[in-house]
Amino acid sequence: MDGAAVLANAATTTTTAGRGVRRESANGGSLSRSPYLTTNFSFLPHNSKLQNQLRFTLKNAPTTYGISNARAVRVDSPLSSVPSEAVDIDWDALGFGLVHTDYMYTMKCSLGGNFSNGELVPFGNIEINPSAGVLNYGQGLFEGLKAYRREDGNILLFRPKENATRMMMGAERMCMPSPSVDQFLQAVKATVLANERWIPPPGKGSLYIRPLLMGTGSILGLGPAPEYTFLIYVSPVGNYFKEGLSPINLLVETDMHRACPGGTGGVKTIGNYAAVLKAQGAAKAKGFSDVLYLNSVNKKLLEEVSSCNIFVVKGNTISTPEIEGTILPGITRKSIIDMARDQGFQVFEKPVTVDELLEADEVFCTGTAVVVSPVGSITYLGKRVTYGSGGVGVVSQRLYSELTRLQMGLVDDKMGWTVELK
Ligand code: COI
């Protein structure tokens, strides 16, 4: 991978060692933080993807990098270089845990304003006022999407526009401003390219991209925060469940609920996830992989698992709970529905009862993190129902393979879902 010194200012000199480029400050030290750095494209080094990305950004999304003119561009960013050295990581041992990478992206906005001046900064802790809206009143959203490295070196994003629009919808519910779809996409692309060396090799996993939107302005009385931060960090990941593609064992939770009608279950707000920790922890302590939630009105209908959507298969029919406010509109859920229909299954988005679950031939979960995860057993009111013979169900396997092959760029993307970062 090529190294890339991206930004320069008058006080810096450039040294090139091999294919990598290092920047040093006038006093000889490494350039770390400099408040306003000027990009001159003659400095842009060998990483052509990053060069193109920055050029594209400058041409198409002026707010992303704070343009002052066409030749010398002021970029409010301390980004000095994209390291080229291979990362010291055992790709075969990747799970779903945070690995610190090189850069994160941040962009701010005041209440009633527009996001602007996004910047890539070194990954690290952020400073936040103790009275920030997100800390005190949970005014926050997150997203999750993945980048895959293809055999030919290209990088693929999976349906990033869907995440951008879902964040906008969530922001509306949580009384927050949100980045435009274009700003979201540009920020994701810039963050992925700046952390390119952390994208696992083909077949070894993906780069999980975590956009956050949070009320970071201070507010003591209850109300929307006066300032917001959009932040993206990334981490290479492998399987979400330790079981991998092996079937997981779910416990149906009958006391605690994830969401209620009129609440925020249908948006990706941070509080939805803290709310499941107690039931999830209790289930894990009993040896279950996770918890399946029921509707709060009569406890007869399926909602979702803590971090993913649920599907039940009966013959040629696949059913999944309809989206009506308490269930997260998963992007993998939506993709699997389309794929299954394309494969000739009858797919229903409808109320799905516990009885249907217990009588299913096969059950599986979907999500960005979990992809497609087969369910081996369900335990409901002390009764355990197992599916198949303990192996991966044929429908789950088929949908998993088709989806992951498309995400990794191993098949033609006739759906037009992947976005290539060139
Ligand atoms: C995702 O699938 O991206 C999620 O949001 C799940 C998360 C709780 C790990």
What structural domains and CATH numbers belong to the chain? 11-238 (3.30.470.10), 248-407 (3.20.10.10)
Q: How confident is the model at residue 70 (pLDDT cuts 50, 70, 90)?
A: very low
DSSP string, 62-119: HHHHT---SSEEEE-----EE--SPP---GGG--SS----SEEEEEEEETTS--EEEE
Ligand 1 centre to CA of 29 (Å) is 40
**Residue carrying the six token digits 């990581």:** 89
Of all atoms in ligand 1, which is nearest to the CA of residue 370?
2
CA distance 317 to 256: 30
Residues involved in catalysis: 268
Q: In the prediction, which pLDDT does 179 show?
A: 98
First to last CA, the chain: 14
- Among the listed ranges 24-33, 152-161, 292-301, which one has the minimum average pLDDT value? 24-33
Q: How confident is the model at residue 37 (pLDDT cuts 50, 70, 90)?
A: very low
Check residues 68 and 76 and name the one with the higher pLDDT: 76
Distance of CA 282 to the CA centre of its chain: 26
Ligand 1 centre to CA of 162 (Å) is 15
Taking 70 as the threshold, does the pLDDT of residue 219 lie above it? yes
Check residues 66 and 169 and name the one with the higher pLDDT: 169
Both tokens of 360, joined, read 């299913």
Ligand 1 centre to CA of 7 (Å) is 33
Q: How confident is the model at residue 80 (pLDDT cuts 50, 70, 90)?
A: low
Over residues 101-123, mean pLDDT = 96
- Among the listed ranges 43-47, 212-216, 295-299, which one has the minimum average pLDDT value? 43-47
Q: Which of 237, 366, 368, 372 to mutate to test the pocket of ligand 1 (most atoms within 8 A of CB)?
A: 368
Ligand 1 centre to CA of 141 (Å) is 12
Check residues 23 and 300 and name the one with the higher pLDDT: 300
Taking 80 as the threshold, does the pLDDT of residue 185 lie above it? yes
CA distance 10 to 266: 49
Contact indicator for 258, 275 with CB cutoff of 8 Å: yes
**Residue carrying the six token digits 């006038």:** 26
Check residues 47 and 289 and name the one with the higher pLDDT: 289
Region of residue 134 (phi > 0: left; psi between -120 and 50: alpha; otherwise: beta): alpha
Q: In the prediction, which pLDDT does 322 show?
A: 97
Contact indicator for 159, 192 with CB cutoff of 8 Å: no
Taking 60 as the threshold, does the pLDDT of residue 114 lie above it? yes
Give backbone dihedrals phi and psi of 190, rounded to 5 degrees, phi first.
-60, -40
Q: In the prediction, which pLDDT does 240 show?
A: 86
Ligand 1 centre to CA of 158 (Å) is 15
Q: In the prediction, which pLDDT does 244 show?
A: 73
Q: Is the CB of 144 under 6 A from ligand 1?
A: yes
Of all atoms in ligand 1, which is nearest to the CA of residue 145?
3
The amino acid present at 137, given as its one-letter code, is: Y
Taking 60 as the threshold, does the pLDDT of residue 64 lie above it? no
Taking 80 as the threshold, does the pLDDT of residue 130 lie above it? yes
Q: How confident is the model at residue 415 (pLDDT cuts 50, 70, 90)?
A: very high
Q: Is the CB of 367 under 6 A from ligand 1?
A: yes
Q: Is the CB of 368 under 6 A from ligand 1?
A: yes
Hey, is 215 helix, strand or coil?
Answer: strand
Q: In the prediction, which pLDDT does 422 show?
A: 66
Give backbone dihedrals phi and psi of 280, rounded to 5 degrees, phi first.
-65, -45
Taking 60 as the threshold, does the pLDDT of residue 231 lie above it? yes
Q: In the prediction, which pLDDT does 22 show?
A: 27
Q: Which of 307, 308, 372, 407 to mutate to test the pocket of ligand 1 (most atoms within 8 A of CB)?
A: 307
Over residues 113-126, mean pLDDT = 96
Give backbone dihedrals phi and psi of 314, rounded to 5 degrees, phi first.
-140, 110
Q: In the prediction, which pLDDT does 41 show?
A: 28
Q: Which long-range contacts (CB under 8 A, 24 or more apart) does 254-257 make?
A: 254/294, 254/299, 254/380, 254/381, 255/279, 256/293, 257/293, 257/294, 257/295, 257/296, 257/303
Q: Is the CB of 369 under 6 A from ligand 1?
A: yes
Q: Is the CB of 409 under 6 A from ligand 1?
A: no
Q: How confident is the model at residue 246 (pLDDT cuts 50, 70, 90)?
A: confident
CA distance 385 to 373: 17
Contact indicator for 385, 377 with CB cutoff of 8 Å: yes
Q: Is the CB of 163 under 6 A from ligand 1?
A: no
Q: How confident is the model at residue 3 (pLDDT cuts 50, 70, 90)?
A: very low
- Among the listed ranges 39-43, 108-112, 124-128, 381-385, which one has the minimum average pLDDT value? 39-43
Q: In the prediction, which pLDDT does 87 show?
A: 92
Residue nearest to atom 5 of ligand 1 (CA): 144
The amino acid present at 334, given as its one-letter code, is: K
Over residues 35-57, mean pLDDT = 35
Q: In the prediction, which pLDDT does 53 show?
A: 43
What predicted TM-score, i.e. pTM, was given to this entire model?
Answer: 0.82
Over residues 118-127, mean pLDDT = 97
Burial class, 262, CB count within 10 angstroms (exposed 0-12 / middle 13-18 / buried 19+): exposed
Check residues 376 and 50 and name the one with the higher pLDDT: 376
Both tokens of 228, joined, read 């917001």
Q: Is the CB of 186 under 6 A from ligand 1?
A: no
Of all atoms in ligand 1, which is nearest to the CA of residue 367?
2
The per-residue pLDDT of the chain, averaged, comes to: 83
Taking 70 as the threshold, does the pLDDT of residue 35 lie above it? no
